[in-house]
Chains A and B, each alone.
Chain A
C-alpha cells in the first residue's frame, strides 16, 4: 500500500456531502463527485460510494454530535436528480483486494451503526428522504436511518440487487435490517432480495420496506413537515452551541504514528505494533463549564479521537501487523477523575457525547481483526475506560510485584462505575458481563472493588487479567506469546478471535458483524463472485458471471 488512507477530514475538504443547517433540522445531501474516488480506475457514478465517501459521512455524523448538538433531526437525501444512491461502487469492489473489501465493509457498517444509534444515544434522529433509485448500499444507507420516506413517482424504488446482479450479499447490514429492524416478512424479504429492480410505491410500504410513500408533487413539502414535526416532538434537550473538532495532532513516520495521548510504534519485522495510551497529566476539569470551555482538548475526548484514528489507520494502512499490543502509562487516579466528571453529569450533552464516543471507540477495538493483547506494566493506568481495553483484548498480561531496576509505580488496575454500564459491547452487555457469562457473580464481586488500585495478584484472582508474571517470567512469557501468535495463520486467528470475543446474546449488531459479514466475506473469496469469470469481476463487461453450480 503506497497511498495512506487518511480518516481525518473536515467540511472544507468534503467532495461528496453537503450539510445545510436549519435550526433543529439538518439537511444532509449526498452529492458524490464522480471523479473524486479514493483510488484510480473507477468513477463514482450515480452517487455510488467508496471508502472516501464513507470517511466523509463518518465525519459528518461525528461532527453532528459534537459540533451541532442543536440538531434533532437529520434528513439524509440526494442532491442528484433521479438517483438517491446506487450503493457501493462495483468497479471499486471488483478491483479491490479482499482485505480492502473487508475493511471497507467494516468501516461502512460502523458508520451506519453510529448514525442509527444517534437517536438512542443522543436523541439525534436520522431520517431518509428517497427520491430516485435507491439500490444496494443506497438502500442500506436508508435502512440505517430510523424513518424512510419514499416518493411515489412510479419510478423511484428501493432495492437490494446484490444477489441477482453481483452474486454477493447486501453486506452493509442490508439483509439483517430488512428482517430484524424493518421486520419484513421473510418470504417477502426473499422476493425483495432476489429482484434486481426492487419495489416501489405502495408495495414498498405494505412490505414495510419504507415508512411512508408520498405523492411526488407533495414529497419535498412532506419531508420538511415530517422533519419539523419530529424535531418538535424530540426528547433532546436544547443545546445552544457545540464544540469544534479541530484537526488532530498526528505525526506519521516510517515506524511510528504519534498523537498527543497515543503513540503507535510499528514493528514490521515482528508483524506487530504497540499502542501506548498516555493518561492525563492535568487535573480533571472542575465542572462542565470548564469541560466545555476546553472544547476538543479535554483528555477524555482527545484520547478517544486519537485512539479511534490510530485503530482505523492500522486497520487500513498496516494490514500485515497481526498483533496489537495495548499499553498505558500515567496516573490511574487522574483517569478515574476525568471519567468521573462525565459519569457524574450524565444529563449534560457533552459528557453524554464523550461517553458514547468511548463506547464506539471501544467497540471499534472489539471489531478489529487482529490479535489483541494488553500488557499491564508498572506505571500504567488501566483505569475506567482504559480498563475496558483489558477485556476487549484476547489476552492480558500484568506485571507482578517489583521489577529489578524499574522504579515506576506498581502495576495496578482500577475499576469505575463506568465499567458496569457505560460502555456496552455490540451484544448489549458490558465487557465484564460478557467475560463472566458463566459466573455472573464475579461481576458483582468486581463491582464491590470499584475505586481500589488492584494489584496483579488481586486482579488475577478477580479474573480481570489473564496472567500475572513476576520479573523472572515476564519477559519470556510475553515474548513467547507474541512469537507464537505471529506464527499462526492470520485467517484462523481472525476466525477464532471473532468467535471467542462475542459471547452471549445476539443483537442486530452482532448479527451484522457476525453472520452477515462472515457470509459476505466467504462469498467474497469464492470464484462465483470474485473469480476471473465471477459476477463481480464481470460486472460491467456485459458477460455474465459463470457459476459453479455445486451447493457447498
Chain B
C-alpha cells in the first residue's frame, strides 16, 4: 500500500488502502451520493458547470503535494488523505502521556472522540453553505477561484471527518455522518452546531474576514486535534492543516488587498484623513474605519468559538489524551498539568481580573491566547501597508472582552479598549464599534461581479503573485454562462 501517493483508482481517492477495506468503502460509497446531492444543490448551477483552476492533492508529501488543473467542481476528487504515520508515535499529553498512540478508538473515550469529530466535521460544510452565493459577486476570477478552492477543500475536510466516523465509530458514526448532510447553515429545523456557522456571509469582505479570523479558529482547533492520542485523527488533521494554510492566505491577502485599494484611491484623490468616510466611499472603496468595524465583529465572533474560559470538557479531552495544546511538543512542561495553574480572566464586582486556575481547566483559554497571538500577525502586516502609504491610521484588535456572547465577558458590556461600560453606553456607542446596517448596505453596493480575466472590482487591489505563478490575466475560472 502506497501511503504517500494518493490512489485515484477507486471512486474515492485515498491513501488509506480503501480498496482493500471493503466495509468502509461500502459505507463511504453509500454516503457519497448524498454528498454529491448536497454539493449540487448548494452552489449555483452555472458555477457547477464552469471549469475552475483548482489544486488537487495527489500526495501527502509536504513538498509538492498538489497539482493544479481545470476541473468542474462536482468532478473534484474529494478524497481521504492522512499524513504519513510517525513510527512509534506516543501520546503527547495527559494521563496516558508516553503510551503508544491509539490506532483504534479506546472504548472509554469513544463518545468524547466522536463528539469532537462531529463538531469539527459540522463546521466544514457549514462554511461552504454560508458562502454559497458569493460567486455571484466575485470581484475577479482570481478571487472566485480562491473561493471555490476554499469551498472544495472544506468539502474534503468534511470527507476526512466522515471517514473517521465511518471507519471507527460503527453504526453511531454512520448516523452522525448522515446527519452532517441533514444539518444546514441557518436552518430553523436543523442548524449547524456552532452559532458562528449559522450566520450568512453576505459579502466578500466578510468572507475574507471569516477566512482570516474564523478559519483561524479552525486552524487552532485542528492544531490541538493534531496532538491527539488517537492516531488516525492526528494524521487526518495534520494533512488538513496543509490545506487550511491556503484559507488563511486568502483571508489575509483579501483584507490586505481591500486595504491597499482604499489606500491607493485615497492617495490618488489626495485624501489624507481616513475618517473622511463619505468622500472615501465615493471613490468606490471601503474606508478604513469600516474595515476596523468588520475586524471587530469577526474577531470577537471567532473568540466565542473557543467556548468557556474554564471548561470541564476541554480539561477532560486534554487529560484523556484526545486533544492537546497548540504546539504541544514545543511547550516546556510536564504535559500533564495536574499541578499547574494558568491565568484566566474573570469578572468580580464589576472589574476585570486575572485569576490563576488549575491549568487543566484552562485549556480553552490557553488556546484562545495562542489564537490572539497568531491572529495579530496579519493585522500587523496590514498596518505596514498603511504606514507605507503615509495615511495616519492603525488597525487595533479590540479587547478580548469586547462584544462577547460566550464566557465570562458575556454578562458585561466592554468597549474595544477593555473598559466595562453600562448597557446604555454600549447601546449608544455600538454603531461606532460594529458595522451598522448602513455600513453593510454600502459594502453590498460595491459587490458587483467582475468576471473579465485580469480585471478587479474597484474596491480590491490585484494580488502581487498569481496562483501557481500564473500571469495576471490568467483565466482562473472558465465561466459556463448558459
Give me the interface of A with B, judged by CB distance under 8 Å: 34, 152-155, 164, 195-197, 215-217, 539-544
Contacts and interface: CB of A to CB of B under 8 A. Distances in A.
B111 A196 contact: yes
Nearest to B320: A544
Contacts of B312: 539-542
Contacts of A195: 111
A539 B313 CA distance: 10
Nearest to A539: B312
A207 to B, nearest CB: 14
Contact of B189 (A153, A539, A540, A542): A153
B360 A154 contact: no
Contacts of A544: 95, 316, 319-320
A197 B118 CA distance: 12
Contact of A542 (B190, B193, B361): B361
A540 B190 contact: no
A152 B320 contact: no
A215 to B, nearest CB: 5
Interface in B45-92: none
B95 A543 contact: yes
Contacts, number: 58
B279 interface: no
Nearest to B316: A542
B191 interface: yes
Contacts of B320: 544
Contact of B188 (A155, A216, A542): A216
Nearest to B188: A217
B315 A541 contact: yes
Given A541-B361, A542-B361, A543-B360, A154 B319 contact: no
Interface of B is mostly: helix
A542 B318 contact: yes
Given A216-B189, A543-B360, A544-B320, A154 B179 contact: yes
Q: Which residue, A34, A153, A542, has most C-beta atoms of chain B within 10 A?
A: A542
A199 to B, nearest CB: 11
B441 interface: no
B221 to A, nearest CB: 18
A541 B358 contact: yes
A452 B179 CA distance: 71
Given A152-B190, A216-B190, A540-B315, 9 more contacts: A34-B411, A154-B179, A154-B190, A155-B193, A216-B191, A542-B314, A542-B316, A542-B361, A543-B338
A154 B183 contact: yes
A475 B64 CA distance: 99
Interface band, chain B:
20 to 34
Sort A-B residue pairs by CB-CB distance and give the 5 closest, nearest first. A542-B315, A542-B360, A154-B190, A217-B188, A542-B319
A369 B188 CA distance: 49
B277 interface: no
Nearest to B182: A154
Nearest to A214: B189
B96 to A, nearest CB: 11
Interface in B290-316: 312, 314-316
B319 A153 contact: no
Contacts of B316: 542, 544
Interface string B330-349: 00000001100000000000
B115 interface: yes
Interface of B: 95, 111-112, 115, 179, 182-183, 188-191, 193, 312, 314-316, 318-320, 337-338, 358, 360-361, 363, 411
Q: Which residue, A153, A154, A195, A216, has most C-beta atoms of chain B within 10 A?
A: A154
Q: Which residue, A152, A164, A217, A543, has most C-beta atoms of chain B within 10 A?
A: A543
Contacts of A541: 312, 315, 358, 360-361
27 contacts: A34-B411, A152-B189, A152-B190, A153-B189, A153-B191, A154-B182, A154-B183, A154-B189, A154-B190, A154-B191, A155-B190, A164-B111, A195-B111, A196-B112, A197-B115, A216-B190, A216-B191, A541-B358, A542-B314, A542-B318, A542-B337, A542-B360, A542-B361, A543-B95, A543-B338, A543-B360, A544-B319
A196 B183 CA distance: 22
A221 to B, nearest CB: 11
A197 B111 contact: yes
Contacts of B318: 542
B361 A540 contact: yes
B103 to A, nearest CB: 22
Contacts of A197: 111, 115
Contacts of B183: 154
A195 B314 CA distance: 19
A155 B188 CA distance: 12
A160 to B, nearest CB: 14
A471 B303 CA distance: 80
Contacts of A153: 188-191
A152 B191 CA distance: 10
A371 to B, nearest CB: 41
B479 to A, nearest CB: 36
Nearest to A153: B190
A335 to B, nearest CB: 53
Contacts of B189: 152-154, 215-217
Contacts of B337: 542
Nearest to B115: A197
Contacts of B411: 34
Contacts of B319: 542-544
Contacts of A543: 95, 315, 319, 338, 360
B410 to A, nearest CB: 10
Contacts of B338: 543
Contacts of A155: 190-191, 193
A215 B318 CA distance: 36
A225 B361 CA distance: 44
A195 B115 CA distance: 12
A430 to B, nearest CB: 48
Contacts of A217: 188-189
B286 to A, nearest CB: 33
Nearest to B359: A542
B363 to A, nearest CB: 8
Q: Which residue, B189, B191, B319, B363, has most C-beta atoms of chain A within 10 A?
A: B189
Nearest to B180: A154
Contacts of A539: 312
A402 to B, nearest CB: 68
A217 B411 CA distance: 28
Nearest to A200: B179
A18 to B, nearest CB: 19
Contacts of B191: 153-155, 216
A442 B190 CA distance: 63
A542 B364 CA distance: 12
Nearest to B111: A196
A194 to B, nearest CB: 10
A331 to B, nearest CB: 58
Contacts of B112: 196
A195 B111 CA distance: 8
A338 B7 CA distance: 89
Contacts of B363: 542
Contacts of B361: 540-542
Nearest to A215: B189
B280 to A, nearest CB: 39
A215 B190 CA distance: 8
A359 to B, nearest CB: 41
